[in-house]
Amino acid sequence: MLAIDDFGVGFSSIGYLQHLPVGMIKIDRTFTRDIDSDARAAALVEAILLMGSALDLQVVAEGIERRTQVQRLRGSGCTVGQGFLYGRPVPLADVVARLEADRSAREASLVQPSRG
């Protein structure tokens, strides 16, 4: 799936949605940062969400740091988000180690069939 990161800023253009096989847009944190305190920011995010829905795109809100942002985004119909509220960036090696530890813990918790 092709995703447009930082949608709404820089080189991410609405025109790309018409000419590229885009399946996801990620709302830049400059819009989500003030969604809970700035009516204009909230209106822009809602417009992006409506556009994404009309084009059958998955929409991800970036830069979520506060629960009040989550409440506002959910109220606007956004169901996917990322940001420091959920976790800080970590090196790939740490992610792999965590996944392997989780897998080992799941495997250790499986009930072994009795032999008899």
Among left, alpha and beta (phi > 0; psi -120 to 50; other), residue 20 is: beta
- Which residues are catalytic, by number? 62
Contact indicator for 64, 31 with CB cutoff of 8 Å: no
Contact indicator for 55, 49 with CB cutoff of 8 Å: no
DSSP state at residue 14: H
